[in-house]
Amino acid sequence: MSDAQTQIPVTVLTGYLGAGKTTLLNRILSENHGKRYAVIVNEFGEIGIDNDLIVESDEEIYEMNNGCVCCTVRGDLIRVVEGLMKRPGRFDAIVVETTGLADPVPVAQTFFMDDDVRTKTKLDAVVALVDAKHLPLRLKDSKEAEDQIAFADVVVLNKTDLVTPEELEKVEATVRAINPAAKIHRTQRSGVALDEVLDRGAFDLSRALENDPHFLEAHDHDHDHHDHDHDHHDHDGHDHHHDHASDIHDVTVKSVSLRGGEMDPKKFFPWIEKVTQMEGPNILRLKGIIALKGDEDRYVLQGVHMILEGDHQRAWKDGEKHESRLVFIGRDLDGDKLRKSFEACQAA
């Protein structure tokens, strides 16, 4: 029954008006990739493709009645996904296009918190379209632009032809400062290869972090080969975003990257539970690969606010260093406190 049923992957497209979402969506709907997509939009825009499976819904944010301020879901998505899944044979995947000002968090949480939606679908990745020219301005006038980048698995840095190479470096550095874990693609006219935005498995614990060489490494000084065009990383790894933010004063999201040895599971799990309970409202995303003492498998973690998922992923390879890496992206995070308490979970 429902267990055996394959879950339909869902890609969430975020980005400001004019960033290139519609162009990308038109490509997804028209290019010959052998897959059929159902698209959920909140505003009927310029989608020039005639497709029965473009569904317009009114953005409907539900706060859950459990006293948790960050437990929000999108009621419209629950309804539309349920409706679409009554006739599942019509499409292979779903794309959710959010409005420019949409908060990506309730969209993503819907796919974890609603039982019916979770049974039938799985979140594949959150893709943020960013207009290279207008990002500095967007960051000045809204929190949403920053949230969309902070929350993304993939950032498509679009309209690169409208900025100078220096401006582009600076914009990419800003994106990287907000979200060190996202994969960034520089594009013109949303010309990213579709397999870089679709079927990413970014929330799939068995694949998470595996297909992402940049995870926690872009600002890692032991791996300069990743940094060929990221020379802004030659600074202290802690509080790195402050350096970047020096000429863009509007970044409030911070990332805290932690690295340690093998963890004591008796200390680590209570710690991460407590951190997500206490700091949940401040955590937009967390991702990690944890080496547990006495465990032959890598343990992978990912979280959204207070939702935390973890599982054994695969065995450590021969010669692979058993180390633990964890990144938090959020606001008002106390990096020193997180680092100290994380390190205290290391096995003796």
Partner 1 sequence: MPTVAPLDLEGHCVAAVFLNDVPHFALADGAIHRLDNGQKTVQANDGLLAAFHDAANDRLVTGGEDGKVFAIKAGGEVNELASAGKKWVTSVAAGPQGAIAYASGKTAFVRFADGRVKEFAHPRSVEGLAFSPKGMRFGVARYNGATLHFPAAEGKPVELEWAGAHTGVTFSPDGAFLVTTMQENALHGWKLADGKHMRMSGYPGKVKSLSWSVKGKWLASSGAPAAIVWPFSAKDGPMGKAPLELGTRGNMMVTCVACHPSQDVVAIGYEDGMVIAARFADAKEVLLRRPGKGAITAMMWDKEERRVAFGSAAGDCGVIDITA
Q: Which residues of this chain interact with partner 1, rule CB under 8 A?
A: 1, 44, 52, 55-58, 60, 62, 64-66, 73, 75-76, 78-80, 83, 86-87, 114-116
> Mapping DSSP to helix (H, G, I), strand (E, B) and coil, where does residue 204 land?
coil
CB-based contact 177:244 (threshold 8 Å): yes
Cβ proximity to partner 1: between 60 and 243 the closer is: 60
**Beta pairing class for 72-74 and 307-315:** unpaired
Cβ proximity to partner 1: between 116 and 334 the closer is: 116
Which residues are 298's β-sheet partners? 291
In angstroms, what is the minimal distance from the CB of 140 to partner 1? 30
Cβ proximity to partner 1: between 76 and 199 the closer is: 76
Q: What distances in angstroms separate CA 311 from CA 12, 123, 195, 270, 307, one per listed residue?
A: 23, 17, 25, 15, 14
Cβ proximity to partner 1: between 58 and 195 the closer is: 58
In angstroms, what is the minimal distance from the CB of 44 to partner 1? 7
Cβ proximity to partner 1: between 88 and 281 the closer is: 88
Can you read off the two tokens belonging to residue 58? 């009114």
Question: Which helix or strand (DSSP H or E) is residue 25 part of?
Answer: helix 21-30
In angstroms, what is the minimal distance from the CB of 192 to partner 1? 30
Cβ proximity to partner 1: between 116 and 161 the closer is: 116
Cβ neighbours around 222 below 10 Å, total = 8
> Mapping DSSP to helix (H, G, I), strand (E, B) and coil, where does residue 189 land?
coil
Burial label, 268 (beta-carbon count in 10 A; 0-12, 13-18, 19+): buried
In angstroms, what is the minimal distance from the CB of 114 to partner 1? 8
In angstroms, what is the minimal distance from the CB of 79 to partner 1? 6
In angstroms, what is the minimal distance from the CB of 75 to partner 1? 6
Which residues are 123's β-sheet partners? 10
Cβ proximity to partner 1: between 77 and 251 the closer is: 77
HEC profile of 139-166? HHHCCHHHHHHHHCCEEEEECHHHCCHH
How many Å apart are CA 140 and CA 124, to the nearest integer? 30
Which residues are 202's β-sheet partners? none
In angstroms, what is the minimal distance from the CB of 316 to partner 1? 36
